[in-house]
Structure 1
């Protein structure tokens, strides 16, 4: 990738909050949840390094500071931690570190896994003079159905006029209906309205946007919920635009083109607004995933099994299986589309399909594992079957058990002969 120039500052949101899948993140901080046997935050640091980014500010809290520094030591990147209250909003967090940002800035979520060319978005930001360029990802039909069923995820109606974002509306606010006023439709004879496009939580902002965040403490708390909708509306609402113009003085921000107001006619006609909000849609051949729900966590793990560009040199591919060096496959083994971690011990025939197994795991005889994730130090005794299940660190499944769509939390033991479906061991509850 091309070098990202130094006039951009990078901010990573990694506060350890995983409120949409607390079953996992209450035991393991979200930035360090293993995805294909690597911490989730590893993918963000790797992405920045491949994009030639040399330094970044990581917004986190004191409990994660040491672990983040240890992870950052593995990469040629300078990390500056900014400690904030984990319970405040994303825009509130930016407000807390405003004194450290003196250029146009990029905000990306610590749960983003992507390989899009960052320099292309940076070029769009420079050339367009836009207030914001945001990453959007079009979900396939199967993923869109999962998003619609997940009550914890806000679906958005996003309107695009070519590359420009002209509508950004949450279904939490409007239900499943979108209303258009006549002047809006007159303004855009061609409008693409999407309900299967998700916000990738990667944003390029002009520096003046930070001043807006600083001054609007009462009304801007969340980037996605407050700031983005405000910037989108300001493109076409003269009253909002006029209020924002005072935060973007041309002398202080020479790249800002200013506003050119003409006569007000139906609030839109014959007006030219230089403020722009631009969308960058992920090309279909590239990857863009946010790991912010249980479904997306599973999907990310299984997707990365086949994305060998994300794996380190310690792993290699044999047919469709990712293995660590020194592990041998026998004739009676049935292993496919799986990632096997270091120091794995398996007794007897192996029957593993589309699964990820962490380090130092011990698997007994006649065990079947499909579409499942075993984290580190997991023990599976003889004659067990595991389907669509997550077994977290140091958990134990005793002999002759069968789990379907279950989660076994850290250090939990499932007793012999257990048969369970959609059950959380350690919370003693059903999904």
Structure 2
């Protein structure tokens, strides 16, 4: 079988809940467990010999960081990896339709479609084996509690045949506990269905422009920039509801860990889950230093004092220096940060090139999530509750934040380039 993989990475307008971590780096490139988030998706695709090419589609400008990342991925995996930039946000179905010529080039039998903020152990080979010839479109689903299902796309599934007989995106009332997990295996003729929707949706607004001219303009070789949102089509809201009940859409129900990485807080739990997966997939990435307890990743260029104690669930980035007697638990220390002697970091993300002073305590309040559970949603990861009050949360330091010695920072979000003079609790410092 000849397959391609398409990974949707979004754009600057998306990922606002990921701030301040996405202010300096696109969310898909944010390092989790030592590697950019989308690297884990690419790595999962490259494990499959059937996947011949990987396409990233997004609205980010192709800057130096993105170019370097793509080049490194190509060198590491030896596969064709290409970034395709949208001229505007086209929607989850509109963007793949816009680049359909690139996706269908080489006549693949089907393609994986993945969202970069959906994380699990990526059972892609299992999906290939599960998909029968009478299943043109396969969607991965996971089961969540009834009260959380309203935040996701819900699929009504015939458990005997695995057919999706009903689909509603973020319904007002309960539909099903089976939700869209953001990973698909689709036959190429999905573009015919999107094309019909495109014509039905936009034909009245074409005025004097013929459909043939529009279809020519929106090809990837000749970018057309209409004044309206002509090309914006949602896979979840517009395509899947039409396919449900047609005998063409089927569900691959996964019963293992899954996480939707929407907020900055959820990155810490993704870090925990990926480190746990390293035990079986990449045990060499986990540190065996005497001061490490549980799953810990330390970049080879980091300097960790022998008396420091790290873990469990800790990632230490490139060029990080951790001083004498420091304690780090359930946290991420990003590249170039300095954690001075006897400081304590708990349930926090320390941004790039931050400085944490001696005997200082930086901590957040964890939301307990079992990485062995079948699902994990992001309901508890938002900064504010329904009444607008700041939730007890992890602590996040943006880039280049300096914390003085002998203070406590608890449950706070610190924006980049701040030099604090005292401790804070339950604050957002802009």
Regarding TM over 0.5, the answer is yes
How far, CA to CA, are the matches of 1:33 and 1:368 in structure 2? 24
**1:170 aligns to what?**
169
**1:89 aligns to what?**
91
Local SS of the residue matching 2:151 = coil
Matching of residue 222 in structure 1 with residue 224 in structure 2: no
2:182 is aligned, of 190, 198, 201, to: 201
How far, CA to CA, are the matches of 1:41 and 1:231 in structure 2? 28
**How many pairs are equivalent?**
350
**1:56 aligns to what?**
54
- For the pair shown, the structure with the greater C-alpha radius of gyration is 1
**1:38 aligns to what?**
35
Matching of residue 124 in structure 1 with residue 95 in structure 2: no
1:41 Cα offset (Å): 1.2
**1:373 aligns to what?**
349
Matching of residue 405 in structure 1 with residue 399 in structure 2: no
1:115 Cα offset (Å): 2.3
Q: Deviations for 1:47-103, whole angstroms, at most 9, x for unmatched residues? A: 111123231222134623524423423322211332213522111101211222334
Contact 1:95 1:210 survives alignment (8 Å): yes
Matching of residue 305 in structure 1 with residue 253 in structure 2: no
Alignment of 1:104-115 (within 5 A): 104-115=110-121
> Gaps (5+ residues) in structure 2?
203-231, 364-393
Local SS of the residue matching 1:305 = helix
1:279 Cα offset (Å): 0.9
How far, CA to CA, are the matches of 2:304 and 2:134 in structure 1? 56
1:328 Cα offset (Å): 5.8
Contact 1:363 1:379 survives alignment (8 Å): yes
How far, CA to CA, are the matches of 1:211 and 1:350 in structure 2? 58
Contact 2:308 2:322 survives alignment (8 Å): no
TM-score, scaled relative to structure 1? 0.72
**1:270 aligns to what?**
none
**2:252 aligns to what?**
280
How far, CA to CA, are the matches of 1:334 and 1:203 in structure 2? 38
Local SS of the residue matching 2:77 = coil
**1:341 aligns to what?**
317
2:424 is aligned, of 419, 426, 429, to: 419
How far, CA to CA, are the matches of 1:76 and 1:214 in structure 2? 33
How far, CA to CA, are the matches of 2:34 and 2:102 in structure 1? 34
Contact 2:268 2:331 survives alignment (8 Å): no
Matching of residue 358 in structure 1 with residue 360 in structure 2: no
The change in CA–CA distance for 1:117 and 1:307 in structure 2 (over 3 A counts) is closer
**2:213 aligns to what?**
none
How far, CA to CA, are the matches of 2:59 and 2:154 in structure 1? 33
Contact 1:382 1:400 survives alignment (8 Å): yes
How far, CA to CA, are the matches of 1:312 and 1:96 in structure 2? 40
How far, CA to CA, are the matches of 1:306 and 1:75 in structure 2? 23
Q: Deviations for 1:382-405, whole angstroms, at most 9, x for unmatched residues? A: 232211212233322223332222
1:312 Cα offset (Å): 7.9
1:101 is aligned, of 90, 100, 103, to: 103
Local SS of the residue matching 2:173 = coil
Local SS of the residue matching 1:175 = coil
Contact 1:376 1:393 survives alignment (8 Å): yes
How far, CA to CA, are the matches of 2:281 and 2:261 in structure 1? 16
**2:141 aligns to what?**
136
